[in-house]
Chains A and B, each alone.
Chain A
Amino acid sequence: MIHVPIPAVIEDVLYNLEHWPVSEQIGAGKLFPTFESLHVLAVGMLLGSLFMVDLRLLGLAARRYSVRRMSDELTPWTFGAFALALVTGLLLVIVHPTYYASNPAFVAKIVLLVLAGTNMLVFHHTIWRSVDGWGDGAVMPIQAKLAGGLSLLFWVGVIAMGRWIAFFL
């Protein structure tokens, strides 16, 4: 099985994190599956709300709605869900940090998360600035379509890699 090499300094930090009483507490009882369930729920809300905006940007769904309005109404749900996913995700990771850090699926998941975040940042600082000019139309500018398509791709990748982590045990 493939494993990602970790520098000794980082491995030491991760080892200490793994033996932190909080981490051991989570790993020992029913807290792990509890946080895991909440993590999946958060992922469901995150992508569920994101899909709609992405598909709207691609011009595949809800074409009669203003993108601006749709984004304003759904983004709080996306960010709320992301916060829950982040907190529960961190609580899961600290149980076996060394294992996750060397797990190719986990590393791929983090890379895809960074790509998804970068895509969103770039989108918001470029074409989104002029959304009032194009946001009500049925046909989206190519940059918006690209951002929506990449977002879908990256996030589906995040989920797939998340599920794949368990298969690198």
Chain B
Amino acid sequence: MFDQVLDQIYQAGRWLNGTDLHTSIRHLLQTVGWVSPTIQSIHIVCITLVIGTAALLDLRILGWAAPSQVPAEMARRLLPWTWSALAVQFLTGGMLVLNRPIRYADNPSFLFKMLFLIIGIVLTLVLASGLRRDPDHWTSTPARVLTGKLLAGVSVLAWVLIVLAGRWIAYR
């Protein structure tokens, strides 16, 4: 089952490799020298926004950072930055993947990064939806406090691992 999933991803990479979009992006990145480093720089600047918003909210829920800020208000104020930054990440990251689809489809660090990404996004959505329904959602009962902290802990770990795995892609 696991092997099948990996095989499907590899097939998707091969399919992407045959598309015109891949050819155009590869041509652009190979002929215009500054495009690649610019895309990568934007990608790193936006990961700092994700860390500074989503991970900071996790740290607040864990009780480790920004004690004077109110979690529900933080989520309302910060998460639009998270989703905007992630949209830029999909765009810039997507271009890098389209440049060399098979390299990524076959790269364990990249696949782990995508897995952590899904975990980070889902947990952030769960934490935010709780706060939207009730500002005290994750503090109202001891069980909720524990759940909230657990989710926030795994979420912050996921964001950290996304950054680390991202750098390891280059070291196959």
Contact = CB atoms under 8 A, between A and B. Distances in A.
Given A51-B52, A65-B69, A41 B160 contact: yes
Given A33-B171, A159-B41, A163-B44, A40 B52 contact: no
Given A44-B47, A65-B68, A159-B45, A167 B37 contact: yes
Chief secondary structure at chain B's binding surface: helix
Contacts of A69: 68
A41 B52 CA distance: 11
B150 interface: no
Contacts of A48: 48-53, 55-56
Contacts of A62: 77
A33 B171 CA distance: 7
Interface of A: 30, 33, 36-38, 40-41, 43-52, 61-62, 65-66, 69-70, 73-74, 77, 156, 159-160, 162-164, 166-167
Given A36-B167, A37-B163, A77-B65, 18 more contacts: A33-B167, A38-B164, A40-B167, A41-B160, A43-B44, A44-B50, A45-B52, A47-B49, A48-B49, A48-B51, A48-B52, A52-B52, A69-B68, A159-B41, A160-B38, A160-B41, A160-B45, A167-B33
